[in-house]
Structure 1
Amino acid sequence: MAPNDSVETNGGTRGTAVGRRRAARYIVPVAVAGVAAATIGLVPALASTGDPDLPKITAQQLIEKIAASDAQQFSGTAKISTDLGIPSLGGLAGSFAQGGSSGRGDSGADPQKKMTELASGTHTLRVAADGPDKQRVSILDGAAEYSLIRNGDQVWAYDSGSNEAYHATEDGSGKKAERPAPVPESVPTTPKALAEQVLKAAGPTTSVTVDGTARIAGRDAYKLVIKPRQSGSTIGSVTVAVDAKNGVPLKFTLLPSSGGKAVVDAGFTKVDFGKPAASSFTFTPPKGTKVTEADDAKAQRKADGDKGPGMFPGAEGLGAGGLGAGAEGGKDTKVIGEGWNAIAEIRTPGGTGLPSKASGDVPAEAQQFLDALGDKVSGKFGSGTVFKTRLVNALMTDDGKVYVGAVTPDALVKAANNAA
């Protein structure tokens, strides 16, 4: 059994993810829900059976083991369970990803739409990778299967339920087309990527300890526990189970400071670090498949007047990165505080707040979702609406400012009052 041994790191736990279409740009909760997708990424779920007796290791040594891991080949099965404490997205998932677009140029296999579904519930995945240019992720849903396949400069997404495919490639100059990566570039796609993101900066705001061992997917692992030293964060702790042999994170669990079940519980149930079969990364659309080319979809969205990213005005200013990644921000964004308590303040163009129901700018389903999440608040800053989940909270003021972070609603109100 490994002993407790701690180091300190400057773990920021804020993050954002923005969607892609016109109508949804008004919906602040989508940015909140998007963080869930950014948080889970493609990190896989729980399969532990007993605690192995392993040599002692310090937290610093275990962090270094993660950083030094060079395992780029694997295949296996994974599960992701997410409980943000928000109403079911249901049919809104497509609206969040597609923004309620007309459907012209859109595809039921568009990765931006399908990845939103990982923001809630439990999902089973089959995953495989052979270096940075060959990856496959399949989301299993009963008899249906949704797969994302990257093989060199070719990327395919296929939904067997709708028999639709989405295809992107690189042109001859090496310039990437609008290619549907499995998840946005800012989203970690493996447990290792997420762990590195949380641990990438050193400082006094985070406690990191080794807290015993575990058996994950038939492999021995050490448990690295990461906790904020600050109060006011919605994050209670993050536990990463690290393969004792090759340093690959096998499981990721995020517990909220409010207590209760995990917000994210994700890890491998089966994993093999051998070279996957080459056939895992090949794809030919079945006969009768409706194929959408990424460039054609982009051109159609442009013709429709879609600006692309932006769930709400000013969302483009949010920095890339999921949990633990700093929000660098744009000209209309600044970061208040540091570490786990950092809050992004975004000024929306024109100083416009959330559209009202009377304005007719918000679809009925979206308004219902907003009403379920939002609480009216007021203070020195004026008035606004707080949108809450178990992980990330956002305050949008009536004069068009957004405060968002993995902090309590009270912390958001305080930040808004201090900025007034």
Structure 2
Amino acid sequence: MAPNDSAETNGGTRGTAVGRRKAARYIVPVAVAGVAAATIGLVPALANTGDPDLPKISAQELIEKIAASETQQLSGTVKISTDLGIPSLGGLAGSFAPGGESGKGGSSADPQERMTELASGTHTLRVAADGPDKQRLSILDNAAEYSLIRNGDQVWAYDSKSDEAYHATEDRAGRDAGRDAGRDAGRDAGKKSGHPVPEGVPATPKALAEQVLKAAGPTTSVTVDGTAQVAGRDAYKLVVKPKQSGSTIGSVTVAVDAENGVPLKFTLLPSSGGKAVVDAGFTEVDFSKPDASSFTFTPPKGTEVTEADDAKAQHKADKGLGGLVPGAEGLGAGGQGAKDTKVIGKGWSAIAEITTPGGTGLPSKASGEVPAEAQQFLDSLGDKVSGKFGSGTVFKTRLVNALLTDDGKVYVGAVTKDALVEAANNAS
């Protein structure tokens, strides 16, 4: 079976002017992962006999193996496919690059823009890591390449197509205080400037798995469902399924390296059926120490370099659901918007209720706050609904759905449209 064949794991697996760049952030698939997949239950199960033939292991033991993994050096190639059932985001984000229709300038190398590309379509990445201070992630695009590099407190991003670079210097003390050994490459870049690399789009199987396996509780079934070969490595298949109804998540399968506990492949299937929403896995992987040159970067002569402080002046860094609705900034990130947020329910069917400032609904084209193309994009995602709460619009993807009522309430989670309407009615 091919190393990155999805069939291996399909047995199981979440008012200011609004431009197209902000529309691109509306549907990052893990924006509400902390709400929609808050708890994971540890249900022991023994691995079935499979190919390869590996010693039996329980789900509890396999999760502990992931947590105990001390592997910090690797390099390889990752293929990631995301299908949220929405139009491609690349063009939306790209229109705000230099020369784009927005006319707002900015750098095409800015990670805040480029990493949103991973929320749609299929991409090939090259990754390398040598401990918590040296990481590199490159997105390959035909003859072009976009690279994000962290070496100590220096972070560089380079877009070979436009010959533009982005540079940030980290606040090392702040970074060290909140360091997570499984953090994705460049995740904390630019904290000193207040313009960090986006955290909402994990790009490796390990980072995706940690979004799911970060808590324990009674709302989830976790089992081991046989074995697999991924990138030439023997692996166990850990299957995570919601016990609750109403979730858009059907199951998550994580292929875990049998030797070192590193997640090699991540597949999320929707409860509605069909192809995977997210399918990310190594096609090649090497756990030896990468060459030091992987983490060094000097801008080629003539490259236009944007410093993080200059980028900050262009736009504020959005976090969580910051680009979804006015006032939603900080959901899941402890920001100011979190004080106006409460959670209805728990586990996979949890729904965040957000009160927007001023009690206003979504800006509209008629108000002059939304460009026509952005309005068309939003309309393509939305369904008009009504109930005891009044009326509103449900913006839908195959994973995360959000109901924005006309009186300025937002209900959002990895749940169905009916679950959102029910929550709004019960809250009325």
TM-score grouping bracket, smaller chain normalisation: 0.7 to 0.9
- How far did residue 112 of structure 1 move? 1.0
CA distance in 2, matches of 1:120, 1:96: 17
Give me the whole-angstrom Cα distance separating, in 1, the residues matched to 2:51 and 2:382: 43
CA contact (8 A) 1:233 1:340 kept: yes
Partner of 1:152: 152
Counterpart of 1:223, as a letter, is K
> CA offsets, 1:338-372, max 9 Å, x none?
00000111111111101222111101110110111
Partner deviation per Cα, 1:41-92 (whole Å, 9 max, x = no partner): xxxxxxxxx9200011011110100000010000001100111001223521
Structure 1, unpaired ranges of 5+ = 1-12, 15-20, 40-49, 322-326
Give 1:186 deviation, angstroms.
5.5
- In 2, Cα distance between the equivalents of 1:77 and 1:243? 16
Aligned 1:123-142 pairs, distance under 5 A: 123-142=123-142
Match for 2:331: what amino acid?
L
What letter is aligned with 1:407? V
Alpha carbons of structure 1 residues 296 and 26: separation in structure 2 relative to 1, 3 Å: closer
Task: Give the secondary-structure state (helix, strand or coil) at the position aligned to 1:288.
Answer: coil
Shift of 1:315: 1.5
Percent of residue pairs bearing the same amino acid type: 81
Aligned to 2:29: 35
Counterpart for residue 62 of structure 1: 62
| CA shift in 2, pair 1:185/1:82, >3 Å | closer
Distance in 2 (alpha carbons) for counterparts of 1:122 and 1:91: 14
Q: CA deviation at 1:331?
A: 1.2
TM-score by length of structure 2 reads: 0.82
| 1:245 match | 259
Asked if the contact 2:109/2:157 (under 8 Å) is kept, the reply is yes
Q: Compared with structure 1, are the counterparts of its residues 97 and 117 closer, same or farther at alpha carbon in structure 2 (3 Å cutoff)?
A: farther
2:333 aligns to what? 320
C-alpha distance in 2 between matches for 1:340 and 1:379:
24
TM-score (norm 1): 0.84
**CA–CA distance in structure 1, aligned partners of residues 171 and 215 of structure 2:** 37
Q: In structure 1, which of residues 190, 197, 213 is the aligned counterpart of residue 227 of structure 2? A: 213
Q: Which runs of 5+ in 2 are unaligned?
A: 1-12, 34-49, 176-190
3-state SS of the aligned residue for 1:335? strand
Matches of 1:378 and 1:234, distance apart in 2: 21
Question: What is residue 117 of structure 1 aligned with on the other side?
Answer: 117
Alpha-carbon distance between aligned partners in 2 of 1:27 and 1:276, rounded to the nearest angstrom: 35
Distance 2:350 2:59 in 1: 25
The one-letter code matched in structure 1 to 2:166 is Y
Task: Tell me which residue corresponds to 2:421.
Answer: 413
Query: Matches of 2:268 and 2:344 in 1, distance apart?
Result: 24
- The 2-side partners of 1:140 and 1:211 are apart by 33
Aligned partners of 2:364, 2:207: CA distance in 1, in Å? Answer: 39
Q: Is the CA contact (8 Å cut-off) linking 1:32 and 1:394 kept in structure 2?
A: no
Contact 2:96 2:102 in 1 (8 A): no
Aligned to 1:386: 394
Task: Give, in angstroms, the shift of residue 255 of structure 1.
Answer: 0.2
Residue 269 (1) aligns with residue 283 (2): yes
| Deviation digits for residues 11-45 of structure 1 (CA, Å, limit 9, x no counterpart) | xx96xxxxxx9633899965541225887xxxxxx
Change (3 A) 1:193 1:268: same
RMSD of aligned C-alpha atoms? 2.8
| Post-superposition CA distance 1:176-223 (Å, at most 9, x none) | 423766x53465454233323312222211000000000000000000
Summarize the Cα distance change of 1:238–1:397 in structure 2 as closer, same or farther, 3 Å threshold. same
Cα distance in 1, alignment partners of residues 67 and 97 from structure 2: 33
SS of the equivalent of 1:91 reads: helix
Alignment of 1:70-85 (within 5 A): 70-85=70-85
